[in-house]
Amino acid sequence: MNIIIKKHLLLYKGYKLKCSIGKSGITASKMEGDLASPKGIFELGLLYYRKDRIKSLKCRIRRRIIKKNMGWCNDSRSKKYNQQIYFPFKYRAEMLYRKDKIYDIFINIKYNYRPS
């Protein structure tokens, strides 16, 4: 399965979906802290979604409902780096349950679980 990202659109088998990428765009030479999304072929992880905002979800991907106490660790000092966590959490992490819609639905890619 190949997914193509162009100008914040995810293109797959004739579908066009809005998507978010790193603030610095997409790069093949990803470096820690560059605010870019990696370019490459990656295994897909879980699909996370807000059940209160995504009413119908038909897919075969393993999924997890986003709860109010869930976050994503973005602190490279943590063993949970680049993984889903629960608050309270002692390291830096981003809330997944937010007022904006940035994380209403997302699929993590299996990339960079241990920073270099």
pLDDT over 60 (residue 32):
yes
DSSP helix/strand/coil, 109: strand
14: closest CA among 24, 28, 4?
4
**Structure token digits, residue 102:** 């940035």
Enter the pTM of the model: 0.84
Which element (helix H / strand E) includes 92? none
The set of residues, in sequence order, having a beta carbon less than 8 Å from that of 109 and lying 6+ positions away, is 38, 42, 43, 44, 45
- Distance CA(5)–CA(70), nearest Å, equals 27
pLDDT at 13: 85
pLDDT at 63: 95
pLDDT at 76: 86
For residue 115, what pLDDT band results from cuts at 50, 70 and 90? low
